[in-house]
């Protein structure tokens, strides 16, 4: 009997232990419910703010065509809530869709407006590509889109291969940096096998060797400013450093 009584005493659980265990369980449940409530409240608040901050108004600064294109894209959006109109996302999308766009700054004006500043690319020339299509070529040296039907910008033409675009851009920049009163208006740049052919208005042409464009242009600019040469237009072949061929230019040809 004494052994059985001792066994029963050992199996009996202390009520204080049971109470402590229940309290710990209730504490864990309370924390879980509190966390779930916070998550739910956060999600609801985010959902509510996302809808409340739907973009209804916008102000666009910049080129007229870009303003119209951006406004049309905003109007065509099915959803203009907060998440769908994040400035970084809109900027990335518009830069891909609008080749004429050089940069765009988007600022959110709470609660429901956007302030947009669009900067257009500045075309510096036309490039005739491998398919004989004309591409706009910007002042950063990038061919960025095909010329549209009806467009006829007054820009110099680059007849060079894709591989020669970078040196052609450098040559273009050198020519643009010269005194505009000393040389006629640039019309066209062609790349030969070993030299550049540069056509200006009034029948003026220059032929320059590859690799020494800066030095050749500096010498030519100095030459044509001298009284002996400044009163007429000339065709100048400067491919040979030691001997230049100079002839009077006649109107006609590439103008």
Q: How far apart are CA 54 and CA 39, in angstroms?
A: 23
pLDDT at 252: 46
pLDDT at 48: 46
Domain locations along the chain: 2-52, 57-120, 123-248
Q: How many CA atoms lie within 13 A of 35 on its CB side?
A: 6
User: Which residues of the chain have a pLDDT value below 50?
Assistant: 7, 44, 46, 48, 252-255
Sequence-separated (6 or more) residues with CB below 8 Å from residue 255: 187, 201, 202, 203
pTM of the complete model: 0.73
Whether 133 and 125 have beta carbons less than 8 Å apart is answered as no
Q: Which CATH superfamily is domain 123-248 in?
A: Cell division protein FtsQ/DivIB (3.40.50.11690)
Q: 53 - beta bridge partners?
A: none
- Burial grade of 202 (CB within 10 A; 0-12, 13-18, 19 or more): middle
pLDDT at 14: 61
Closest CA to 207 of 247, 176, 170: 247
pLDDT at 213: 93
Q: How many of the other CB atoms lie within 10 Å of CB of 188?
A: 19
Alpha-carbon radius of gyration of the chain:
37
Output the CATH code of domain 57-120.
3.10.20.310
Q: How many of the other CB atoms lie within 10 Å of CB of 168?
A: 22
pLDDT tens-digit series, residues 131-151: 999 999 999 999 999 999 999
pLDDT at 254: 40
């Amino acid at each position: 009997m004494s052994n059985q009584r001792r066994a029963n005493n050992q199996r009996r659980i202390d009520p204080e232990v049971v109470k402590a265990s229940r309290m710990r369980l209730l504490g864990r449940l309370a924390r879980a419910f509190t966390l779930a409530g916070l998550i739910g409240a956060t999600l609801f608040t985010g959902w509510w703010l996302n809808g409340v901050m739907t973009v209804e108004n916008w102000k666009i600064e910049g080129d007229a065509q870009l303003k119209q294109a951006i406004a049309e894209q905003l109007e065509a959006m099915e959803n203009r809530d907060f998440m769908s109109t994040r400035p970084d996302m809109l900027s990335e999308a518009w830069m891909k869709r609008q080749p004429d766009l050089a940069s765009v700054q988007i600022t959110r004006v709470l609660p429901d407006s956007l302030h947009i500043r669009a900067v257009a690319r500045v075309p510096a020339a036309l490039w005739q590509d491998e398919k004989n299509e004309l591409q706009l070529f910007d002042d950063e040296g990038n061919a960025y889109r095909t010329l549209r039907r009806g467009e006829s910008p007054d820009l110099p033409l680059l007849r060079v291969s894709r591989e020669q675009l970078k040196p052609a851009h450098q040559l273009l920049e050198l020519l643009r940096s010269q005194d505009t009163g000393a040389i006629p208006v640039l019309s066209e740049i062609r790349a030969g096998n070993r030299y550049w052919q540069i056509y200006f208005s009034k029948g003026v042409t220059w032929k320059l060797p590859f690799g020494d464009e800066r030095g050749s242009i500096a010498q030519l600019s100095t030459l044509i400013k001298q009284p002996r040469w400044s009163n007429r237009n000339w065709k100048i072949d400067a491919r040979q450093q030691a001997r230049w061929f100079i002839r009077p230019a006649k109107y006609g040809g590439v103008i």
